[in-house]
């Protein structure tokens, strides 16, 4: 398996570290315990297309948001994860 | 040299070099073969029929096939450290001096004591592991398992380290092709002519596949000539790489293929500086599977008798190796293709005893062949094999209509049709589909980018193989963006193929489905009767197809028998899931050079070579080698050296290389704000020129890491991590920076390898530093106070970073110089420190002093503790948000009865404290219900002259002075300890501030 890093090009899996689902966003400071609990622990176990975090530690050290099908391992998109997990202000 | 016997070698023909005789040993006896032989063909040429004993019943077995699907002819190849068990004689290339031994027999192949297992066959039936030996549980480990392993094993491992090297390599191409038979060569020609970068993998050492045994006419040329032409053309193409002795064994995500190249397995010992095998990862845009098909046996009583051989294998031995497996051959077939063996036998001057054909009709051409050859065609099936000393002797035939016949022969060729090699195409959970016309599974789709062609796709005719291969090769090249002229397609006639499915002939006596695992037809039936209806269950219960051959000759027959007893069709019964590797791959090949000292990378500290000169003892910490202590002449053990080092620091001055700490430069106007969010305590308020201890949590509220961070400028912090977490903290901080807090203007730079850092500690530290640092730098308490941090100039002009921080509790500094000066710094410290008795100290002394000071480290930052547990709860800022803040406030993480860090010392001062001991209240019975925690870190404290430690103990801090039991069942110890303040030494901290 290879991932096309937007900064480094197509690179081998061993250069990357997996983190997990990129959907949850870190709640704002005043969001309360329940919201943070959900953020820390609750994950969907998706059979199909999921957006997830990968870290290009063996390359440019960018955190990437990779769209991958968990059934086929097909990767359909890779983009920088900049700001992907930030609290939604006013949400 | 002796010419050798080779009584079964033909005088002419074959792809062997009669001018290159090779001597070899099998079971201690000397034989001769020729270059071009496999071990199996050389044994056939020498008339050896019995080559091993079977797995469970120790039945005598012969050679069944001529390829990598072989279930029986497994040998221990080579000797000593290079002894390799379960090697297929059918693929082992003969070399001068080859040594091989048959397996699974004792004391000898001809007389085997364990064959009495056959008499106890009822206990070895399907599922016997589960039924017979499950009770009592203790007996399994002690008695049953060792006994079974002795009785039912295969070859013996060498038992010593493999002296050879293995390699791993990557390759990239447009089209990778598995197999070099007619389909594979045609695919390579088309793709190569298109201009594609092609890799052609062939597991054999000769290209050509079945053409080598079956010949044929292609483009009007004899097969051998056509192969030579094709190979010459391919070899001349600069972008075509032909890899012989290479099996494509698996397909992985994104068009990555695994291949094993047996680089030097055909030599007794690899040439110097060469590897035995190489594991390839091939990245290809397209893959053409031209892996051919495997002829399948028919299951009948006595089908494992030596001398029973696949019909196609018999042709391989006769045509390719000019070796005759028998003199008088009977053929049992249910299809047209099997008849080729009769033709081959006649052409080689052998007798054909009879052809037993299970089909109702035989073609006129074959009828006339029979009458010309003077042998009968019997319509029916083989029902039994009468076995003499040399294997097959007489064959019983159940004729269609009920009559019986007997055929005398010393060899029985069997053809039950062909199974396309559907492994590679099915490895991504693909399920092959059933084709009634050939009664076989064929690929039904394939992983992305892969296509099967030729016999692997169920196209058995030579013309069809060439056509499919050529078209697949052309399409693959086109898909990869190559559009060159593909020239003309090689052409050959298609042979007729007719087959009447026949899987199992009912009869008396053992009829083997899986010969390698000794699974019989009745085992399959029994499993079905006992309720194992699913093929996956059948497989595991009977172990059918689970041996090293992965059931290449047995799986489909097993399914067919299962289908028959359940009254379902074969496609309804379905197949088990196919998984790589297609052939066994040695663990050594997967490891490659990553073994022994090269198992992982080794990181050396900047002062490593100097420390080694000093005779330091090194300890592995992660990838690092760190100096653990520096023994001196006359010291009787490590404890004496470590104690000396500690005393030297506490009374004078010492230094220690702490470069292994993770180091990160944090730059930017929002650097302080960023650190406020990742540490529990504030850093934006830290003054320039000061350092502060910081603690990081995970988002779930548990402590992640700690370290000292200094502010070198308004917008520049220098952060340190623990050695263990250096990489992970960098990754975590990058996540926080990039993903969570993109609004902060901050940059992170890993500088762990850029700075050599030394801790210099002890009351004479300042005296030593003055010899190193430029005299203009003020190192006084006022000019450089405790927790000060700034850049300084060294004597000679080099700039260094100096931090007044102390892990030892003594007056101490840490000094950082560019890593290339690290070794010089160590030598300088020794030189300049000589008048002050400077003493280098290692990680043990470092650990002793941190325990004496009650500092927490890895054993306390263990992934379960909170800041409060470590006694650092007050550091948690209430004025800001930070990673882990909310979750750290959860009830269970803040209850008062948590296990917290406390000091521990034995009441008997002479007693040694051991980490791992459990804390049990006095008078209570040791056990989980009374377990209040455990000892995490211990050392012998030279200051207190006794063993001391830290522990994580329920309400520990409230229990200072209480005496409890340290219960250590692992070491059989139980003794009294007292809780005390975790800061054993200089609790006011006066020494480090002085
Ligand atoms: Zn990258």
pLDDT for residue B1: 36
> Is residue B386 included in any domain, yes or no?
yes
CB within 8 Å: B735 and A82: no
Query: Is 60 exceeded by the pLDDT of residue B833?
Result: yes
Question: Which tokens belong to B895?
Answer: 């209850």
CB within 8 Å: B448 and A82: no
Angle at B79 between CA B73 and CA B85, to 5 degrees: 35
Average of pLDDT values for B275-285? 97
> Is residue B186 included in any domain, yes or no?
yes
Q: What is the pLDDT of residues B512-555, one digit of tens each?
A: 999 998 999 999 999 989 988 888 898 888 889 888 888 999 99
> Is residue B362 included in any domain, yes or no?
yes
Claim: this prediction has a pTM higher than 0.95: no
Identity of the residue in B448, B699, B734 whose CB atom sits nearest the CB atom of A40 = B699
Contact of B314 with B331, CB cutoff 8 Å: no
Identify the residue whose tokens are 């009865």: B897
Contact of B249 with B586, CB cutoff 8 Å: no
Instruction: Looking at the structure, tell me whether residues B384 and B426 fall in a common domain.
Output: no
Contact of B495 with B461, CB cutoff 8 Å: yes
Residue of B849, B789, B792 lying closest to B651 (CA atoms): B849
Q: What share of chain A is helix, strand, coil (3-state, %, to 5)?
A: 15, 35, 50
Least confident of A10-19, B120-129, B177-186: B120-129
Query: Is 50 exceeded by the pLDDT of residue B376?
Result: yes
Identify the residue whose tokens are 């480290």: B857
Residue B54's alpha-carbon distances to A20, B112, B247, B295, B810, in angstroms, are: 49, 11, 26, 21, 72
Identify the residue whose tokens are 């067919």: B560
CA distance B623 to B603: 6
Mutual angle of helices B843-852 and B638-651, in 10-degree steps: 60
Beta strands in B440-591 (DSSP E): 440-442, 450-452, 512-514, 519-520
Structural Rg of chain A based on CA atoms:
14
pLDDT for residue B195: 98
CA distance B296 to B273: 42
Question: Which tokens belong to B115?
Answer: 């064959």
Tell the burial category of B78 from Cβ atoms under 10 Å away from its Cβ (0-12, 13-18, 19+).
buried
Instruction: Looking at the structure, tell me whether residues B653 and B779 fall in a common domain.
Output: yes
Average of pLDDT values for B211-216? 96
Average of pLDDT values for B279-294? 98
Per-residue 3-state assignment (H helix, E strand, C coil) for B639-704? HHHHHHHHHHHHHCCEEEECCCCEEEEEECCCHHHHHHHHECCCCCCCCCCEEEEEEEECCCCCEE
Instruction: Looking at the structure, tell me whether residues B646 and B773 fall in a common domain.
Output: yes
CB within 8 Å: B254 and A73: yes
Instruction: Looking at the structure, tell me whether residues B765 and B618 fall in a common domain.
Output: yes
CATH number of B376's domain = 3.50.50.60
Query: Is 90 exceeded by the pLDDT of residue B107?
Result: no
Average of pLDDT values for B15-40? 97
> Is residue B185 included in any domain, yes or no?
yes
Per-residue pLDDT band at B444 (split at 50, 70, 90): very high
Question: Which tokens belong to B111?
Answer: 């007389």
DSSP-derived pairing of the beta strands B433-435 and B440-442: antiparallel
What are the chain B neighbours of A81 within 8 Å (beta carbons)?
Answer: 738-739
Identity of the residue in A57, A61, A86 whose CB atom sits nearest the CB atom of B742 = A86
Average of pLDDT values for B361-379? 94
Which domain-ending residue is among B522, B551, B568?
Answer: B568
CB within 8 Å: A80 and B731: no
Does ipTM come in above 0.90? yes
What are the chain B neighbours of A55 within 8 Å (beta carbons)?
Answer: 731, 734-735
CA distance B725 to B715: 25
CA of A9 from ligand 1 middle (Å) equals 7
Instruction: Looking at the structure, tell me whether residues B280 and B302 fall in a common domain.
Output: no
pLDDT for residue B983: 97
Interface test with A, best of B601, B738, B879 (most A CBs within 10 A): B738
Instruction: Looking at the structure, tell me whether residues B401 and B448 fall in a common domain.
Output: no
Sequence-distant (≥ 6) Cβ neighbours of residue B297 within 8 angstroms: B64, B303, B310, B414, B416, B553, B554, B557
Contact of B638 with B631, CB cutoff 8 Å: yes
CA distance A52 to A23: 7
Residue of B574, B470, B772, B594 lying closest to B165 (CA atoms): B594
Q: Taking chain A, what is the end-to-end CA distance rounded to the nearest angstrom?
A: 37
Mutual angle of helices B555-566 and B535-542, in 10-degree steps: 120
3-state secondary structure of B173: strand
Which domain-ending residue is among B814, B829, B850?
Answer: B850
Instruction: Looking at the structure, tell me whether residues B797 and B666 fall in a common domain.
Output: no
CB within 8 Å: A2 and B448: no
Q: What is the pLDDT of residues B309-364, one digit of tens each?
A: 999 999 999 999 999 999 999 999 999 999 999 999 999 999 999 999 999 999 99
CB pairs under 8 A between A and B: 64
Which domain-ending residue is among B702, B728, B750?
Answer: B750
Instruction: Looking at the structure, tell me whether residues B177 and B278 fall in a common domain.
Output: yes
CA distance B470 to B183: 7
pLDDT for residue B430: 86
Q: For chain A, list residues whose CB is within 8 angstroms of any CB belonging to chain B.
A: 1-2, 17, 19, 26, 29, 31-33, 36-37, 39-41, 53, 55, 57, 61-63, 73-75, 80-86
Residue B404's alpha-carbon distances to B79, B300, B352, B689, in angstroms, are: 49, 15, 19, 103
CA distance A10 to A6: 8
Between residues B926 and B497, the one the model is more confident about: B926
Strand order in the sheet with B617-621: B603-604, B624-629, B617-621
pLDDT for residue A91: 36
CB within 8 Å: A37 and B256: no
Per-residue pLDDT band at B498 (split at 50, 70, 90): confident
**Closest approach of chain A CAs to the CA of B742, in angstroms?**
5
Identify the residue whose tokens are 């000898």: B108
Query: Is 80 exceeded by the pLDDT of residue B123?
Result: no
Residue B30's alpha-carbon distances to B74, B317, B446, B504, in angstroms, are: 19, 21, 47, 39
Contact of B269 with B82, CB cutoff 8 Å: yes
> Is residue B552 included in any domain, yes or no?
yes
What are the chain A neighbours of B254 within 8 Å (beta carbons)?
Answer: 1-2, 73, 75
Angle at B500 between CA B495 and CA B504, to 5 degrees: 130
| Domain residue ranges in chain A | 2-26+33-83
What are the chain B neighbours of A74 within 8 Å (beta carbons)?
Answer: 448
Question: Which tokens belong to B246?
Answer: 């290479």
Q: Which helix (H) or strand (E) holds B828?
A: helix B822-833
Between residues B58 and B67, the one the model is more confident about: B67
What are the chain B neighbours of A63 within 8 Å (beta carbons)?
Answer: 734-735, 738-739
Between residues A3 and B2, the one the model is more confident about: A3
Average of pLDDT values for B101-121? 70
| DSSP state, residue B612 | H
Pick the CATH number of A2-26+33-83 from 3.30.2270.10, 3.10.105.10, 3.40.50.720, 3.30.710.10: 3.30.2270.10
Q: How high does pLDDT run on average in chain B?
A: 94
Domain count, chain B: 7
Q: What is the pLDDT of residues B415-426, one digit of tens each?
A: 999 999 999 999
Instruction: Looking at the structure, tell me whether residues B41 and B119 fall in a common domain.
Output: yes
**Closest approach of chain A CAs to the CA of B887, in angstroms?**
7
3-state secondary structure of A13: helix
Task: Name beta bridge partners: B496.
Answer: none
Residue of B188, B180, B200, B169 lying closest to B275 (CA atoms): B169
Beta strands in B389-532 (DSSP E): 391-399, 404-408, 411-415, 418-420, 433-435, 440-442, 450-452, 512-514, 519-520
| DSSP state, residue B710 | E
Question: Which tokens belong to B171?
Answer: 């390759």
> Is residue B532 included in any domain, yes or no?
yes
pLDDT for residue B118: 66
Contact of B458 with B438, CB cutoff 8 Å: yes
* CA-based max dimension of chain B: 116
Instruction: Looking at the structure, tell me whether residues B429 and B287 fall in a common domain.
Output: yes
DSSP string, B916-940: TPEEE-TTSPPSGGG--EEEEEEEE
What are the chain A neighbours of B665 within 8 Å (beta carbons)?
Answer: none
Task: Name beta bridge partners: B109.
Answer: none
pLDDT for residue B634: 96
Is the bond into B695 cis (omega within 30 degrees of 0)? no
Sequence-distant (≥ 6) Cβ neighbours of residue B160 within 8 angstroms: B80, B81
CB within 8 Å: A86 and B699: no
CA distance B568 to B575: 13
> Is residue B597 included in any domain, yes or no?
no
CA distance B738 to B673: 14
> Is residue B210 included in any domain, yes or no?
yes
Sequence-distant (≥ 6) Cβ neighbours of residue B638 within 8 angstroms: B617, B628, B629, B631, B844
Instruction: Looking at the structure, tell me whether residues B271 and B314 fall in a common domain.
Output: no
DSSP string, B857-923: -TTTSSSS--TTTTT-GGGS-SSS--TTHHHHTSHHHH-TTSEEEEEEEESSTTSPP-TTPEEE-TT
Tell the burial category of B173 from Cβ atoms under 10 Å away from its Cβ (0-12, 13-18, 19+).
buried
Domain with B361 in it: 298-415
Instruction: Looking at the structure, tell me whether residues B398 and B430 fall in a common domain.
Output: no
What are the chain A neighbours of B738 within 8 Å (beta carbons)?
Answer: 62-63, 80-83
Identify the residue whose tokens are 């001349």: B236
DSSP string, B63-85: ---SSTT-SS-EEEES-GGG-EE
CATH number of B830's domain = 3.30.1360.120
| DSSP state, residue B334 | S
């Amino acid at each position: 398996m290879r991932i096309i890093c937007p900064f480094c090009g197509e690179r081998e899996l061993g250069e990357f570290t997996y983190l997990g689902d990129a959907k949850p966003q870190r709640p704002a400071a005043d969001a309360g315990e329940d919201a943070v609990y959900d953020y820390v622990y609750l994950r969907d176990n998706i059979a199909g297309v999921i957006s997830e975090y990968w870290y290009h530690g063996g390359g440019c050290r960018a955190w990437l948001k990779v769209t991958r099908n968990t059934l086929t391992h097909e990767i359909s998109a890779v983009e920088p994860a900049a700001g992907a997990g930030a609290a939604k202000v006013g949400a | 040299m002796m010419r050798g016997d080779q009584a079964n070698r033909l005088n002419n023909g074959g792809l062997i070099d009669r001018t290159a005789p090779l001597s070899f040993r099998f079971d201690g006896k000397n034989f001769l073969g020729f270059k071009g032989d496999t071990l199996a063909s050389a044994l056939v040429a020498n008339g050896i029929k019995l080559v091993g004993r079977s797995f469970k019943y120790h039945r005598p077995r012969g050679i069944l096939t001529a390829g990598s699907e072989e279930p029986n002819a497994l040998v221990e190849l080579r000797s000593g450290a290079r002894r390799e068990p379960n090697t297929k004689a059918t693929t082992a290339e003969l070399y001068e001096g080859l040594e091989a031994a048959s397996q699974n027999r004792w004391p000898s192949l001809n007389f085997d004591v364990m064959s009495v297992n056959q008499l106890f066959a009822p206990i070895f039936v399907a599922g016997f592991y589960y039924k017979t030996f499950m009770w009592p549980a203790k007996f399994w480990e002690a008695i049953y398992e060792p006994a079974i392993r002795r009785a039912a094993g295969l070859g013996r491992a060498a038992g010593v380290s493999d002296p050879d090297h293995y390699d791993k390599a990557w390759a990239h191409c447009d089209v990778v092709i598995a197999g070099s038979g007619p389909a594979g060569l045609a695919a390579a020609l088309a793709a190569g002519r298109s201009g594609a970068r092609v890799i052609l993998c062939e597991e054999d050492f000769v290209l050509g596949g079945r053409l080598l045994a079956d010949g044929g006419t292609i483009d009007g040329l004899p097969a051998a000539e056509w192969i030579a032409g094709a190979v010459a053309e391919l070899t001349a193409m600069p972008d075509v790489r032909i890899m012989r002795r290479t099996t494509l064994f698996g397909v992985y995500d994104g068009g990555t293929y695994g291949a094993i190249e047996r680089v030097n397995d055909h030599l007794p010992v690899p040439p110097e500086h060469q590897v035995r095998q190489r594991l390839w990862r091939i990245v290809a845009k397209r893959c053409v599977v031209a892996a051919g098909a495997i002829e399948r046996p028919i299951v009948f009583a006595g089908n494992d008798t030596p001398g029973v051989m696949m019909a196609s294998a018999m042709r391989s031995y006769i045509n390719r190796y000019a070796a005759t497996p028998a003199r008088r051959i009977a053929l049992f077939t249910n299809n047209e293709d099997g008849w080729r063996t009769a033709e081959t036998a006649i052409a080689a001057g052998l007798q054909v005893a009879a052809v037993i054909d299970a089909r109702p009709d035989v073609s006129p051409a074959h009828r006339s062949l029979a009458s010309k050859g003077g042998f009968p065609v019997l319509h029916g099936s083989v029902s039994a094999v009468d076995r003499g000393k040399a294997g097959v002797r007489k064959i019983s035939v159940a004729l269609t209509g009920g009559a019986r016949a007997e055929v005398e022969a010393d060899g029985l060729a069997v053809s039950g049709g062909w199974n396309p090699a559907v492994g590679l195409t099915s490895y991504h959970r693909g399920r092959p589909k059933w084709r009634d016309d050939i009664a076989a599974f064929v690929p039904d789709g394939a992983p992305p980018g892969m296509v099967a062609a030729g016999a692997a796709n169920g196209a058995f005719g030579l013309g069809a193989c060439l056509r499919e291969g050529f078209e697949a090769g052309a399409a693959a090249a086109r898909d990869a963006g190559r559009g060159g002229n593909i020239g003309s397609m090689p052409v050959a006639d298609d042979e007729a193929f007719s087959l009447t499915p026949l899987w199992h002939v009912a009869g008396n006596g053992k009829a083997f489905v899986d010969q390698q695992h000794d699974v019989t037809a009745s085992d399959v039936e029994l499993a079905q009767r006992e309720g194992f209806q699913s093929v996956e269950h059948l497989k595991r219960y009977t172990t059918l197809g689970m041996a090293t051959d992965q059931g290449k000759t047995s799986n489909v027959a097993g399914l067919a028998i299962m289908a028959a007893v359940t009254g379902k069709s074969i496609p309804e019964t379905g197949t088990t899931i196919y998984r790589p590797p297609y052939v066994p791959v040695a663990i050594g090949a997967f490891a490659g050079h990553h073994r022994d000292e090269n198992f992982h990378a080794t990181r050396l500290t900047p002062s490593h070579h100097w420390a080694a000169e000093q005779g330091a003892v090194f300890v592995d910490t992660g990838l690092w080698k760190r100096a653990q202590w520096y023994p001196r002449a006359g010291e009787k053990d490590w404890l004496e050296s470590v104690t000396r080092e500690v005393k030297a620091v506490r009374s004078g001055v010492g230094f220690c290389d702490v470069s292994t700490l993770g180091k990160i430069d944090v730059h930017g106007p929002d650097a302080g704000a960023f650190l406020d969010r990742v540490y529990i305590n504030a850093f934006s308020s830290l003054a320039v020129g000061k350092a502060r201890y910081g603690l990081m949590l995970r988002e779930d509220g548990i402590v992640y890491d700690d370290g000292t961070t200094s502010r070198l400028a308004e917008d520049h912090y220098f952060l340190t991590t623990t050695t263990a977490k250096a990489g992970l903290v960098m990754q975590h901080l990058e996540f926080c920076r990039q993903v969570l807090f993109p609004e902060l203007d901050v940059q992170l730079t890993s500088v762990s390898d850029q700075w050599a850092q030394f801790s210099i500690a002890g009351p004479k530290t300042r005296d030593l530093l003055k010899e190193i640092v430029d005299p203009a730098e003020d190192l006084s308490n006022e000019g450089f106070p405790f927790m000060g941090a700034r850049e300084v100039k060294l004597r000679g002009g080099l700039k260094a970073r100096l931090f007044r921080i102390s892990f030892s509790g003594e007056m101490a500094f840490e000094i950082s110089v560019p890593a290339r000066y690290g070794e010089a710094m160590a030598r300088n410290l020794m030189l300049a420190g000589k008048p002050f008795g400077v003493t280098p100290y290692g990680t043990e002394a470092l650990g002793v002093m941190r325990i004496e000071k009650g500092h927490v480290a890895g054993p306390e930052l263990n992934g379960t503790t909170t800041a409060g547990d470590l006694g650092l709860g007050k550091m948690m800022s209430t004025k800001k948000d930070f990673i882990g803040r909310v979750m750290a406030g959860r009830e269970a993480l803040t209850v008062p009865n948590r296990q917290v860090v406390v000091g521990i010392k034995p009441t008997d001062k002479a007693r040694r404290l051991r980490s791992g001991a459990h804390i049990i209240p006095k008078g209570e019975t040791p056990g989980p219900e009374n377990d209040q925690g455990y000892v995490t870190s211990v050392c012998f404290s030279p200051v207190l002259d006794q063993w001391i430690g830290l522990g994580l103990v329920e309400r520990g801090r409230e229990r200072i002075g209480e005496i409890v039991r340290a219960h250590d069942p692992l070491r059989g110890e139980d003794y009294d300890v007292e809780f005390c303040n975790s800061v054993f030494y200089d609790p006011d901290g006066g020494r480090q501030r002085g």
